[in-house]
Amino acid sequence: MTEKADNLANRCLKCGFCVNQCPVYRELKDETYSPRAKLRLIKAYRDGTLKDDRTLRKVIANCLMCEACYKNCPGGLQTSDAIAEMRVEFRDKYGLDWKKKLLRAALGDKRLRKLSAYWARLVYNNFISNIPMPLDIPAGALSLKNIPRLNKALSNRAAGGERKKKAFFFVGCVDRFMFSKTAEAIVKVLNATGYDVEISPEERCCGMPMMISGDSAALGKSARINIDLMASGNYDAIVSGCPTCIVALKQKYAGIVKGDAEYEEKLKKIAPLMSDFTELVARNIKDLPALKEIKAEVTYHDPCHLINSLGIFSEPRKLILATPGVEFRELPGGPSCCGSGGFYHVYFPELAAKIGKKKADSIKKTQAGITLTACPACKLQLINFTRSAKIKTEVKHIAEFLSERL
């Protein structure tokens, strides 16, 4: 954590700039669930004024960790760090529920992660997706009938080739095991931009789902394996098509390895090389070949971790506008959360669905035939709610859109 929870609570000005930017508050209209109220409750708990922690546990659980509060805070307070700290404390006090234990088991072990993904793909593609579903069968806030067929797991590759630059591609769980065509598109675009790309079979989950769940203590081994992988080669760039992975690697790992001088030094050296896909390609856009023209109306959804945590706004738009023939249409109301929030939609499906439906309504208003985003979890959420609303738009990762134009 960058700052202790009670310090953040003491520094909160209670100005309210965060309140109306919070997607949870927007739906509930209950001050108790606003970011500033969460900090005040944490302070009361720390001071001993709040004796019973049940209210605080309920409130801090209901947070998307989207960091819209941080982006709109005049004091730059990272309220999500305070919430994560409290989740760790309550995890130590009460343990994990069965869903989080299952998550820890599936994502914490490389072999189990691969095996779980294989069986999920086998069962879903061969049975569930082939059964006509007149009814919506929920999977959290999602509907099984709206989940696309899962791609075959991504194959690993060495960064051999004659290109001048070399990139380590941190794929992430979703694009490695569900949307591998997105990962292949990322490789294609990076190759076209002048990078040989390496994909390691030893990559572990970035750990953000566990960190958000308050289970960061489980990440020590996986984080160090990932750091070793990224520090082992003479890379010009470390890139991911998942902004959440980059936030974990670049911003959160410092807290995981704090006090371990060896890994602090390794992370310090490689952190400046870490970039989101859109950031890296936009920075090297002069090396990207001319893109094929397409006559299409295109809109774009800003992933929360990309815009709020990493501060990346113009780069994806620069890439979209580099495509001849595109008519770009901003979403009405500006950037906002889609409601995915990692596993938030599993624990709070009704709220996640309300947020997701509002995002789908915004997309509908643009009348765009193509909806782009830069996050695999957002992509899944947008596919679900645009299909549910019968909106005629094709949802893609921006890498897929660019690779099709090469």
pLDDT in tens, 185-196: 999 999 999 999
User: What's the rounded mean pLDDT across residues 310-323?
Assistant: 97
The answer as to whether 208 is a domain residue is: no
Last residue of a domain, one of 94, 121, 143: 94
Q: Please give the pLDDT value at position 227.
A: 97
pLDDT digits over 197-240, tens only?
A: 999 989 999 989 888 888 887 788 899 999 999 999 889 999 99
The answer as to whether 134 is a domain residue is: no
The answer as to whether 357 is a domain residue is: yes
Residues 72 and 31: beta-carbon distance below 8 Å = no
The answer as to whether 196 is a domain residue is: no
Closest CA to 249 of 125, 235, 378: 235
The answer as to whether 319 is a domain residue is: yes
| Mean pLDDT, all residues of the chain | 89
Per-residue pLDDT at 142 exceeds 90? no
Q: Give the up-direction half-sphere exposure of residue 108: CA atoms within 13 A in the CB hemisphere.
A: 15
Q: What is the CATH number of the domain that holds 61?
A: 1.10.1060.10
Q: Please give the pLDDT value at position 1.
A: 41
Per-residue pLDDT at 383 exceeds 60? yes
The answer as to whether 13 is a domain residue is: yes
Last residue of a domain, one of 76, 94, 112: 94
The pLDDT confidence band at residue 125, using thresholds 50, 70 and 90, is: low
pLDDT digits over 335-368, tens only?
A: 999 998 877 888 998 999 999 999 999 999 999 9
The answer as to whether 114 is a domain residue is: no
Residue predicted with more confidence, 398 or 146? 398
The answer as to whether 297 is a domain residue is: yes
Closest CA to 224 of 203, 251, 210, 193: 203
Last residue of a domain, one of 30, 65, 94: 94
Tell me the pTM: 0.91
Residue predicted with more confidence, 125 or 102? 102
Geometric angle at alpha carbon 8, from 91 and 65, rounded to 5°:
55
Residues 68 and 22: beta-carbon distance below 8 Å = yes
Domain count for the chain, please give it. 2
User: What's the rounded mean pLDDT across residues 15-34?
Assistant: 93
Mean pLDDT comparison of 79-93, 132-146, 263-277, highest-scoring range: 263-277
Containing structural domain, residue 37: 5-94
Q: What is the CATH number of the domain that holds 333?
A: 3.40.50.10700
